């Protein structure tokens, strides 16, 4: 299926997209593509559960039930203004009669955008410290992450209102390894480098390079530990920061899913995976059978090794480090659970 970019004018042809504010519609347009179906090609089958909102742009899409065509949707018709078979799992099969062009939108993303559009009662320019041109980009980036799908709209509004903008020069240290955790950060302008000092490398091992929309600083806030890395600006730039207590209440708590030992084992029996975030020496000394080990400070670096379709139960000795790891995974769209109280507690 080939893909083309989408204009806001095209999106306004469809309901309820035509009700979105201009800026939100433009943000959605950057996340959507026009796709093609060849004659006879199936778009989705009866029973499919993938949450995609589909709109027909051109051509004729046949709706098939038990082998019989029960309806059609033709581009530019009244029926095409609305999503195709929006109930999950799908109750029918959709198949192209001729060449069909269509839009496919992540349904959760669309729901977040619609909710934000209707509950975000202020404009970006009204937010204190957010008047710089282009700053809406980092906001829409955050709204479009799967992490924000789990956060109540009222919390999202409070998060943006309580954030504070801080400007930095190239070479400035935003946070220092070993310092106390006090803020959660979002990079909104420029780029930054994440490094970790080790006994063998005082200059620091490069862990990641941050771009606009990337977040950092959450591990120390969640685990009540000191900063495990240093973040240094690679260029002039700006961050938005959220205080520790606001972060915990508004962002962290809604995102984490805590489970008992019994619940965790049920998830693993159903195909999930134990993920131990302690140090390798701790893991070697004691661990749950079948667990894999990725230390917390390596999770960002090694996250590509994990399967986005897999459920992970994160564990450590108390639950602090595993909750920080689960937040990072959840923030990036992974299904992550936290073992309550850790692997050594009898209460689990």
> What's the CA gap between 247 and 186, in Å, rounded?
12
> What's the CA gap between 174 and 192, in Å, rounded?
9
β-strand pairing of 335-339 with 311-315: parallel
Residue 197, SS3 per DSSP: strand
> What's the CA gap between 334 and 183, in Å, rounded?
24
> What's the CA gap between 109 and 24, in Å, rounded?
12
Give Rg (Cα) of the chain.
23
Residue 23, SS3 per DSSP: helix
* Residue reference for tokens 């955790």: 181
Taking the alpha carbons at both ends of the chain, their separation in whole angstroms is 48
Would you please indicate which residues are annotated as catalytic (active-site) residues? 316
């Amino acid at each position: 299926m080939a893909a083309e970019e989408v204009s806001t004018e095209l999106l306004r042809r469809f309901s309820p997209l035509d009700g979105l504010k201009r800026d939100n519609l433009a943000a959605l347009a950057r996340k959507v593509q026009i796709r093609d179906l060849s004659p006879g090609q199936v778009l989705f089958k009866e029973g499919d559960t993938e949450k995609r909102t589909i709109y027909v742009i051109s051509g004729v899409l046949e709706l098939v039930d038990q082998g019989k065509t029960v309806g059609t949707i033709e581009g530019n018709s009244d029926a095409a203004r609305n999503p195709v078979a929006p109930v999950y799992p799908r109750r029918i099969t959709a198949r192209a009669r001729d060449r069909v062009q269509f839009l496919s939108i992540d349904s959760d993303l669309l729901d977040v955008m619609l909710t934000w559009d209707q509950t975000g009662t202020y404009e970006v320019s009204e937010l204190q410290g957010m008047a710089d041109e282009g700053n809406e980009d980092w906001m829409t980036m955050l709204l479009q992450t799967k992490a924000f799908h789990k956060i109540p709209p009222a919390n999202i509004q409070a998060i943006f209102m309580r954030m504070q903008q801080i400007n930095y020069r190239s070479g400035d240290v935003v946070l220092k390894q070993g310092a106390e955790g006090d803020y959660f950060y979002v990079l909104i302008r420029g780029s930054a480098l994440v490094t970790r000092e080790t006994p063998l490398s005082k200059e620091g091992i490069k862990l990641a390079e941050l771009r606009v929309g990337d977040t950092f600083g959450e591990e120390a806030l969640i685990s009540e530990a000191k900063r495990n890395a240093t973040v240094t600006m690679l260029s002039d730039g700006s961050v938005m920061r959220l205080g520790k207590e606001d972060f915990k209440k508004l962002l962290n708590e809604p995102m984490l899913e805590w489970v008992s030992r019994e619940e965790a084992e049920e998830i693993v029996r159903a195909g999930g995976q134990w993920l131990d975030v302690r140090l390798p020496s701790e893991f070697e000394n004691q661990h749950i059978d079948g667990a894999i080990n990725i230390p917390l400070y390596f999770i960002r670096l090694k996250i590509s090794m994990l399967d986005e379709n897999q459920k992970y139960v994160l564990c450590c000795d108390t639950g602090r480090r595993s909750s920080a790891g689960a937040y990072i995974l959840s923030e990036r769209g992974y299904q992550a659970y936290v073992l309550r109280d850790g692997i050594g507690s009898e209460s689990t």
